[in-house]
Amino acid sequence: MNANVSLMVNLPPDLAEAMRLKVEAGEYASAEDMLQAGIRNLLQRDDALEKWLREEVVVGHAEYLANTAQAMQADEVLPHLRARRSNSPTSRKSCGSSSRRAPSVILKTCTTTFATTPATASRTAMSVGSSHTAKD
């Protein structure tokens, strides 16, 4: 009994060519194997994103709501981090931050970080400054 479902997939020429080259190079046994690996990777990425949102973003936002007076505006973050780094080589460790993370809105007590990218920093600053969250 075959447990697979047959689908017809239309790809743009550049993706079809990339798939063909990877299969020919032996990176995948077939186009089907490559598609299966791609879908698995997307599902794992989605799960990791969902976990990050639940375990870090929601928790960080709850901590912010519990003490909004300690929040820092997004445009203050980089100067604050630069000052901390120039004054103390161990300051990053005491805040629990990592050099691999994107710039964050950081509580002045360094107990919580809200991960943002530079593109979302201004939206984060707006939501940090209010008692409600943005819906985007």
Q: Report residue 117's pLDDT band, with 50, 70 and 90 as the boundaries.
A: very low
Domain membership flag for residue 89 = yes
pLDDT at 119: 42
Domain membership flag for residue 32 = yes
Same domain as 61, residue 102: no
Same domain as 53, residue 32: yes
Lowest mean pLDDT among 8-17, 58-67, 83-92: 83-92
Structure tokens at 61: 């936002």
Specify the residue for token string 């201004």.
122
Q: What percent of the chain has pLDDT over 70?
A: 62
Domain membership flag for residue 85 = yes
Same domain as 129, residue 82: yes
Same domain as 57, residue 73: no
Q: What is the pTM of this model?
A: 0.49
Rounded-to-integer distance, Cα 91 and Cα 85, Å:
6
Domain span at 23? 12-66
| Section 111-135 average pLDDT | 41
| Section 10-24 average pLDDT | 97
Q: Report residue 109's pLDDT band, with 50, 70 and 90 as the boundaries.
A: very low
Same domain as 58, residue 97: no
What is the separation, in whole angstroms, between the first and last Cα of the chain?
45
Domain membership flag for residue 4 = no
Lowest mean pLDDT among 44-48, 53-57, 102-106: 102-106
| Section 110-114 average pLDDT | 41
| Section 28-32 average pLDDT | 96
Rounded-to-integer distance, Cα 75 and Cα 128, Å:
12
Same domain as 73, residue 29: no
Q: How big is the CA angle at 90 (ends 84 and 91), to the nearest 5 degrees?
A: 30
- Average per-residue pLDDT for the chain: 74
pLDDT at 32: 95
Domain membership flag for residue 7 = no
Same domain as 90, residue 104: yes
